[in-house]
Structure 1
Amino acid sequence: MTVFTQKLATAIPAMLLCASLSGVTNMSYADTTNPNAPVSLLEKWDKTFPESTKVDHRKVTFQNRYGITLVGDLYIPKNRGERKLAAIAVSGPFGAVKEQSSGLYAQTLAEQGFVTLAFDPSYTGESGGSPRNVASPDINTEDFSAAVDFLGLQKEVDRNRIGLLGICGWGGMALNDAAMDTRVKAVATSVMYDMSRAMGHGVGDGKDRYSTKDRRAVLQYLNAQRWKDAENGTYAPGGHDINVDEKGNVSASDRVLPETLPANPHPVLKEFFDYYRMPRGFHARSVNSTGAWNATMPLSFMNMPLLSYANEVTIPTLIVTGEKAHSRYFAEDAFKAIGSKEKELVIVPGANHVDLYDNVAGKIPFEKFEQFFKANLR
């Protein structure tokens, strides 16, 4: 597979829109009313990708610094002997679960010789936290550091050789964590989103969509929803892409993706629908596959910029995106902001955003990720 590679400060114009092991008994979710509740899991293969015969797999649980129990899939190469291996924590996309794209990346990298951990973020999937279906730039960044905690305690892992890989919205979380957690030795992203920018300024056609006036209207809309939630004693569902028309009217869907595609759908909507809502990538625990975030979830990101300290990311950094990805401008701008002298931007020819979720046949540059982590987790 051919890739376009861009090193250091060279720029390409933006293009398009957009720890302990648990007991093994029966399957259940983390207790949604008690983030410290124990989790009981079944060792059952329920992924959207085939199980590899080259790695050992087990379900694990660990806690983040806020006491929320996280659930992950640990992948370990077979026939590894007694040597300690480099390890990689993997999460994303935003609204996905570990049985989807992050698990595919983790299992493939384990085949290449790494110990890997794909995990569900707080408040989603099998992980704990209440209320459900919320996200936070702070807590979700902490989730990555909690994964580093867990990996560093495993007998198979050399704790001085741990890296991060964030997909889609978790690319921004990974870079944010890399700026803070000095234990991380290398960081990579795939079709990354900066979720603070996406929710606070709107995903546009290669640039931010909201004007200052639009942004204010979105904040008013979200805070009005807070009153409704407080009055009702519950959290209304909603999507995180909020629209503002030319008259300043604000609207949002009541779920992430529609039940069926509308006639002549936007190409980006179709990309996501064809993955999350179709057998290709559907998973019942994925917010994007089956439901909605809490409608007020974007508030956490509106004035909390994830990449404020990107210039303090000084470790080796690999940023991968698609030539036709609507998110490409997020990756290119993050690449410019990263302070590392060892950074690389890879543009995958012909690939759109969702191609890099699961399109192994010529799109996901697993060889590039392998080379990057082997070179920098030595």
Structure 2
Amino acid sequence: MDIHTETTKITTEQDMPNEGRRNMMKMTGAGIVALGISSLASSQAFAQSSIALTDEWDKKFAKSDKVDHKKVTFKNRYGITLAADLYQPKNSTGKLPAIVVGGPFGAVKEQSSGLYAQIMAEQGFVTLAFDPSYTGESGGEPRNIASPDINTEDFSAAVDCIGMQANVDRQRIGMIGICGWGGMALNAVAVDKRVKAVVASTMYDMTRVMSKGYNDSVTLEQRTQTLEQLSQQRWQDAEKGTPVYQPSYNVLKGGEAQFMLDYHDYYMTPRGYHSRAVNSGNAWSQTTPLSFMNMPLLTYISEISPRPVLFIHGEKAHSLYMAKTAYENAAEPKELMVIPGASHVDLYDQVDVIPFEKLTSFFKQHLA
């Protein structure tokens, strides 16, 4: 795999037609949220829940013959039951290092996070890919709601769960966050000192993009208008007793920017479509952006140090600027790896593009 770190300035919109670029710059608040965006009976904390889990292998990747897999459930600090897939190297012995994986924003564990988890399990790690609260097979009502606080907590609850496994060394736990869950993972690790190393792959800072738009293009007037609309929407939701949802995601109407076409190619085709994924023709609630628009998610990113953080991003990703800012604000030890020619979505599932060799060496070094 010919991969190197690229440090030169990259123009993320250079390949976009003018119409697509204008559409991208217009997206704010409610529009941006569309992107990405067996129980453990040994412990009372992980008691059997009432959520139903599928028995079939309905992942968007083939099942590995090098890994043992089972579904598990666990509760987060708010009492919401989460569903996850636990992957373990076959015939492993002793206490192993472990990694929890989440993302992308609006995806489910049967997609990108599960792929990352299974491949890292092949490399000798116990891994856990989970559905965030209110999505996928996890609990929480109403459905398809996101929260920078609750979803950050979901990562730490996943650490709780994986650390309860008899074959996991609690002193060697790492974390991978993908796309919008990359920012969540960084936020979680800043406060959760149990995590010894973290990777943010093709990351979004969801609070930044929802409150400021792409490339921080949203004016105060535009932000105020969006907040006025969302505030009025609360009256309608309160009167009906149920939330109103946004239009179906990743349904093309023509004139979209290239990155929107890339999202469609993943979420709405056999490559990555999954009926439980928010981004696969479903939608977040109209008011989901509210909590994101008033919370800078990465305020304390420097407090991850002295634990290492690795940013992995595509050279042609429209979101690269968010990873660069996060990298600049993080403290050493840190690394930004830019994959030549790669788009944002390439790092979801293209195993010949995702630098799994780098991920393996990073975690083997820092979870030793």
Could you state the TM-score of these two structures normalised by the residue count of structure 2?
Answer: 0.89
Higher helix residue share: 2
Cα 1:79–1:56 change in 2 (3 A) is same
Q: Distance in 1 between matches of 2:316 and 2:115?
A: 22
Equivalent in the alignment of 1:257: 250
Matched ranges for 1:59-78 at <5 A:
59-78=71-90
| Residue 211 (structure 1) shift | 1.2
Q: Give, in whole Å, the separation in 2 of the partners of 1:37 and 1:58.
A: 16
For 1:305 and 1:265, locate their aligned partners in 2 and report how far apart those are by CA, in whole Å.
28
Structure-2 change in CA distance of 1:213 and 1:183 (3 Å) = same
SS in 1 for 2:146: coil
What is the rounded CA distance, in whole Å, between the counterparts of 1:53 and 1:208 in structure 2? 45
Counterparts in 2 of 1:14-163, with a 5 A limit? 14-17=10-13, 20-21=39-40, 37-81=49-93, 83-163=94-174
Q: Residues 35-76 of structure 1: CA distance to partner in whole angstroms, max 9, x if unpaired? A: x95234343211000000000000000000000000000000
Q: Distance in 1 between matches of 2:191 and 2:321?
A: 24
SS in 2 for 1:256: coil
Structure 2 unaligned regions, length at least 5: 14-23, 25-37, 43-47
Partner SS for 2:5: strand
- Partners in 1 of 2:10 and 2:242 — Cα distance? 40
Alignment check: 8 A CA contact 1:2 1:348 kept: no
Q: Secondary structure at the match of 2:341?
A: coil
Aligned positions of 1:1-378 closer than 5 A: 1-5=1-5, 12-17=8-13, 20-21=39-40, 37-81=49-93, 83-203=94-214, 207-238=215-246, 254-258=247-251, 261-314=252-305, 315-339=307-331, 341-361=332-352, 363-378=353-368
Q: Give 1:268 shift.
A: 1.1
SS at match of 2:313: strand
Q: 2:39 touches 2:71 (CA, 8 Å); kept in 1?
A: no
Structure 1 letter corresponding to 2:250: L
How many Å separate the matches in 2 of 1:302 and 1:37? 33
Question: 1:264, CA displacement in angstroms?
Answer: 4.1
- Does structure 1 conserve the Cα–Cα contact (< 8 Å) formed by 2:179 and 2:203? yes
Task: Give the whole-Å Cα distance in 1 for the aligned partners of 2:272 and 2:128.
Answer: 20
Is the Cα contact below 8 Å between 1:43 and 1:58 reproduced in 2?
no
SS in 1 for 2:337: strand
Question: In the aligned structure 2, how far is the partner of 1:15 from the partner of 1:3?
Answer: 20
The gaps in structure 1 that reach 5 residues or longer are: 24-35, 239-253
Identity %: 58
Indicate conservation of the 8 Å contact 1:22/1:40, yes or no.
Answer: no
> Are the counterparts in 1 of residues 211 and 293 from structure 2 also a CA contact under 8 Å?
yes
The whole-number CA distance in structure 2 between the counterparts of 1:337 and 1:158 is 30
